[in-house]
Amino acid sequence: MRPAILADKLSKRFPRGQSGETFLALDELSFEVAAGHAVGIVGNNGAGKSTLLKILARILRPTSGRAVLDGRVGSLLEVGMGFHPELSGRENIFLAAAVLGMKQSEIERRLDAIIDFSGVGPFLDSPVKQYSSGMYMRLAFAVAAHVEPEILLVDEVLAVGDAQFQKKCLERMENLSRNGQTILFVSHSLQAVARLCRTALWIDRGKLRGQGPVAEVTAAYLKQGAANPGEQVWPDGSDAPGDDCARLRRVRVANASGQTAASINIAEPFTIDLDFAVTADDLVLFPSIRIFNEWGTEIIWSTDTGSPWHGKARPRGRHRCTINFPANWLNEGLMSVTAAVSSGFPARFHFNQADAVHFQATDVLGQKNARGDYPDSITSVMRPLLQWTIQVDS
Amino acid sequence: MPGVDVLDLVGAILIEQENALPLTVIEASRRGTLWTNATEYFEFATLLRHLTVRDLRLRFQNPLLGILWTILQPLLPAMIFAVVFARVLQPATGGVPYSLAALAGFVPWSFFSTSVSSAGMTFVWNANLLNKVYFPRGILPASAILASSVELATGAILLCGWSIWCGFPPCASWLLLPLLAGYIAAFAFFASLGLATANVLNRNVKFAVPFAMQLWIYASPVIYPSSFVTGRWRWLLGLNPLTAVLEGFRTAIYGAPLDSMLFLMSFCSAIVFATAAVILFRHFEDLIAERV
């Protein structure tokens, strides 16, 4: 049987800057996807995932190589494509469905199902600018979910919307996949990839780095993800993340005894140091950090609210922040830290460095932590040690 | 026929039927001829329809104001010129009220200038859509021109009314108006296809468009009939692709004498311009999403 998607030495070169420099986003990428399979694509930012999807969706043309797609191709690279705020919900259904490649008769046939799925019934004939963002998303996804080409290309659609919405999206895609649709799915959420796909491709700097069962590929990808364990230092100069106002100099994870650590015992407190250089006068800067778990879920966000420097203009010089984390709240796994400095009005990031450092949160047996003697895996995002009050009436 | 095996052909047709699903081949350069690329537009008729509906909805959100703008668009400049230039230009119209001659020029002209100016921006305005989903790119200017055609139709009705008012009753040549309208709408589509591509390639083009339109109106028989230009420079009007349709409107409405040589020259010029626009568009078609 012919594969649903066949990519043969696909390359894509983009011009970069004015000087005629080029950048190779895809480098002779070859792979096959069998009909009826859902395949996830993982890889770092800039690895070429989106470029690949856009080439397969015929939005971009490859520089060389070829791809053959067997069947009608639909692409969901964004929820709400074609939506216009002034048009009513009903008009937007027709417009967005046509944008996604549906024919008039198909749209009319599925109209009731789409309206039903969206749950915006009573507001169907009001302009969508009056919708809440939740209603808007539901309607937009309802349209997208009823496009049923043989091959569906999906990019980060699930990155938007609340948890309930994301769950609904995933369920719908699982259904499509069970009905024999071929799905190519790019997402930063490894959790979503693992749930939807049985196989995965790992793309690294435009090349295929791994292909196989989803668990193996994501494990290999996560392992290389820990490229900056414990500490990362940026030498002075313009190569460090940042701009004319502030530049990142160092991010470090330290254990309870103050030593740089690539591995943290979740039953002990730890600190993260964020150092940055300020090179402009009188800016009110907001340093912040975020921690993501290995599934790409943001576990925590924090800024300097408790410090006397909060909301104050910063002098030039090196600013060293130490963020103290209590013991017993992380779950185990590979953690990634994003470090950022922004200024308030107008809000803008001076830098927003993803994957600044990585550390492994480990669960050391025999310690007083939330696990106790419970042996199975704990899949929750956090694992705080909570006080239980128990009353027994007999 | 030497070199073509009939069995191969039959085989190819059978394979085609066995795989009912369309096979998409993506390569560095575009496959297919002008004809196969053009027929692709029919597959996207639904999109064309709903993009046109969108534009019409937005234009007639307030129906009364929408209709008012649509009528004023050609009427106001025609009346201004009628008041200001009537005395100078009246002799050239051959006894026809200047206001009628001017309106017959402004109805096609204002449709052309406003629709091409806005349809020429459709790639830039819809950058997000172009970057997120595939469809034949020409759908965007085509839908903008289609929506603007309402303006042309209203203008033509207005023109007929004005003609009766001026004492030129309906005649058989009015039946040519839809043909002429189709002709200028088609030319507006090709012009905006080329302009939209140029707008993607160079961001300064959009600033040049209003100037070009201002010069173009005086270089075209809009405020004056072509009979106003005599002598050795008359052939220049023939290079203008709009001359044919502007003069055609006057002939159809009140039977102005048609210079068939001028008409033919202008028609050929329109074909040359349209071909150039299509060549420009097809050459850069695949780069539009990347550059926009």
Q: With 80 as the cut, is the pLDDT of residue B239 above it?
A: yes
B7–chain A nearest CA distance, Å = 23
Helix (H, G, I), strand (E, B) or coil at B92: helix
Interface contact flag, A66 B23, Cβ < 8 Å? no
Nearest C-alpha neighbor of B43 from the set A41, A176, A58, A303: A58
- Chain B residues in contact with A57 by the CB 8 A cut-off are 133-134
Q: With 80 as the cut, is the pLDDT of residue B87 above it?
A: no
Partners of residue B114 on adjacent β-strands? none
B225 within 8 A of B91, measured Cβ to Cβ: no
Regions of chain A short of the pLDDT cut 50: none
Cα angle B90, B92, B96; round to 5: 60
Helix (H, G, I), strand (E, B) or coil at A387: coil
Domain edges within chain A: 5-225, 231-362
Interface contact flag, B25 A66, Cβ < 8 Å? yes
B158 within 8 A of B74, measured Cβ to Cβ: yes
Query: Do the domain assignments include residue B224?
Result: yes
- Cα distance between residue A371 and residue A232, in whole Å: 31
Nearest C-alpha neighbor of B285 from the set A14, A51, A26, A59: A59
Interface contact flag, B50 A100, Cβ < 8 Å? no
Question: Which has more pLDDT, B115 or A169?
Answer: B115
Structural domain count, chain B: 1
- Cα distance between residue A67 and residue A75, in whole Å: 16
A38 within 8 A of A177, measured Cβ to Cβ: yes
- Cα distance between residue A49 and residue A221, in whole Å: 14
Cβ neighbours around B237 below 10 Å, total = 23
Please report the DSSP string for A35-75 in residue order.
TT-EEEEE--TTSSHHHHHHHHTTSS--SEEEEEEES-EEE
* pLDDT band at residue B3 under the 50/70/90 scheme: very low
Q: Which of A55, A95, A103 sits opposite B26 (nearest CB)?
A: A55
**Among chain A residues, CA nearest to B131:** A59
CA dihedral B147, B151, B154, B159 (to 10 degrees): -150
- Chain B residues in contact with A149 by the CB 8 A cut-off are none
- Cα distance between residue A60 and residue A10, in whole Å: 12
The string of pLDDT tens digits covering residues A24-63 is: 899 999 999 998 888 999 887 678 888 999 999 999 999 9
Query: Do the domain assignments include residue B151?
Result: yes
Can A5-225 and A231-362 be said to share one CATH topology? no
Secondary structure string (H, E, C) spanning A236-292: CCCCCCECCCEEEEEEEEECCCCCECCEEECCCCEEEEEEEEECCCCEEEEEEEEEE
Q: Which of A95, A100, A107 sits opposite B133 (nearest CB)?
A: A100
A170 within 8 A of A192, measured Cβ to Cβ: yes
The confidence score (pLDDT) of residue B155 equals 94
Question: Which has more pLDDT, B255 or A323?
Answer: A323
By percentage, how much of chain B surpasses pLDDT 90? 58
B154 within 8 A of B177, measured Cβ to Cβ: no
State whether CATH 2.10.10.90 applies to domain A231-362: no
AA identity, residue A29: L
- Chain B residues in contact with A54 by the CB 8 A cut-off are 131, 289
Interface contact flag, A81 B133, Cβ < 8 Å? yes
Interface contact flag, B130 A65, Cβ < 8 Å? no
Q: With 90 as the cut, is the pLDDT of residue B52 above it?
A: yes
Interface contact flag, A58 B21, Cβ < 8 Å? no
Residues of A in CB contact (< 8 Å) with B are 14, 54-73, 75, 77-78, 81-82, 84, 86-87, 91, 94-95, 98-104, 107, 150
User: Rounded mean pLDDT of chain B?
Assistant: 88
Q: Which of B23, B28, B135 sits opposite A62 (nearest CB)?
A: B28
Interface contact flag, A86 B130, Cβ < 8 Å? no
Interface contact flag, B58 A78, Cβ < 8 Å? no
A197–chain B nearest CA distance, Å = 23
Q: Distance between the two ends of chain A, CA-based, in angstroms?
A: 67
Place of tokens 């480990």: A362
Interface contact flag, A81 B51, Cβ < 8 Å? no
Please report the DSSP string for B175-212 in residue order.
GGHHHHHHHHHHHHHHHHHHHHHHHHH-TTHHHHHHHH
The confidence score (pLDDT) of residue B103 equals 93
- Cα distance between residue B132 and residue A33, in whole Å: 22
To test the contact with chain B by mutation, choose from A61, A69, A102 the residue with the greatest count of B C-beta atoms within 10 A, namely: A61
Pairing of strands A317-325, A313-314: unpaired
- At A155, which helix (H) or strand (E)? strand A151-155
Q: Which of A56, A57, A61 sits opposite B286 (nearest CB)?
A: A61
* pLDDT band at residue B280 under the 50/70/90 scheme: very high
Pairing of strands A38-42, A348-362: unpaired
Interface contact flag, A62 B27, Cβ < 8 Å? yes
To test the contact with chain A by mutation, choose from B49, B62, B122, B133 the residue with the greatest count of A C-beta atoms within 10 A, namely: B133
Q: Which of B23, B50, B61 sits opposite A86 (nearest CB)?
A: B61
Q: Phi, psi (5° rounding) for residue A212?
A: 155, -160
Which two tokens mark A247? 């530049």
B83–chain A nearest CA distance, Å = 40
Partners of residue A40 on adjacent β-strands? A185, A200
* pLDDT band at residue B18 under the 50/70/90 scheme: very low
- Cα distance between residue A156 and residue A186, in whole Å: 6
B94 within 8 A of B171, measured Cβ to Cβ: no
B143–chain A nearest CA distance, Å = 13
> How many CB pairs (< 8 A) connect A and B?
106
Q: Which of B47, B54, B131 sits opposite A87 (nearest CB)?
A: B54
Helix (H, G, I), strand (E, B) or coil at B166: coil
- Cα distance between residue B246 and residue B163, in whole Å: 16
Q: Which of B19, B28, B51 sits opposite A63 (nearest CB)?
A: B28
Is the Cα dihedral A55, B41, A148, A69 positive or negative? negative
Q: Which of B22, B54, B131 sits opposite A59 (nearest CB)?
A: B131
AA identity, residue A11: S
B26–chain A nearest CA distance, Å = 5
- Cα distance between residue A30 and residue A9, in whole Å: 5
A321 within 8 A of A275, measured Cβ to Cβ: yes
Interface contact flag, A57 B133, Cβ < 8 Å? yes
AA identity, residue A156: E
Domain boundaries, position B52: 33-291
Cβ neighbours around A152 below 10 Å, total = 23
- Chain A residues in contact with B66 by the CB 8 A cut-off are none
Partners of residue B24 on adjacent β-strands? A69
- Chain A residues in contact with B19 by the CB 8 A cut-off are 70
Interface contact flag, B53 A98, Cβ < 8 Å? no
- Chain B residues in contact with A86 by the CB 8 A cut-off are 57-58, 61
Please report the DSSP string for B42-79 in residue order.
HHTHHHHHHHHHHHHHHHTSSHHHHHHHHHHHHHHHHH
- Chain A residues in contact with B130 by the CB 8 A cut-off are 59
Which two tokens mark A65? 């190589």
Query: Do the domain assignments include residue B28?
Result: no
Q: With 80 as the cut, is the pLDDT of residue B14 above it?
A: no
What Rg do the C-alpha atoms of chain A give, in angstroms? 24
Burial class (CB in 10 A: 0-12, 13-18, 19+), B211: exposed
The string of pLDDT tens digits covering residues A160-180 is: 556 666 677 777 777 877 888
Helix (H, G, I), strand (E, B) or coil at B236: helix
Q: Which of B21, B131, B134 sits opposite A71 (nearest CB)?
A: B21
B108 within 8 A of B184, measured Cβ to Cβ: yes
A298–chain B nearest CA distance, Å = 26
- Chain B residues in contact with A94 by the CB 8 A cut-off are 50, 53
To test the contact with chain B by mutation, choose from A50, A59, A152 the residue with the greatest count of B C-beta atoms within 10 A, namely: A59
**Among chain B residues, CA nearest to A103:** B46
B6–chain A nearest CA distance, Å = 26
Could you name the CATH architecture of A5-225? Answer: 3-Layer(aba) Sandwich (3.40)
* pLDDT band at residue B15 under the 50/70/90 scheme: very low
Helix (H, G, I), strand (E, B) or coil at A154: strand
A264-293: buried (b, 16+ CB within 10 Å) or exposed (e) per residue?
A: bbbbbebbbbbbbbbeeeebebbbbbbbbb
Query: Do the domain assignments include residue B150?
Result: yes
Interface contact flag, B24 A69, Cβ < 8 Å? yes
The string of pLDDT tens digits covering residues B191-221 is: 999 999 999 999 999 999 999 999 999 999 9
B160 within 8 A of B235, measured Cβ to Cβ: no
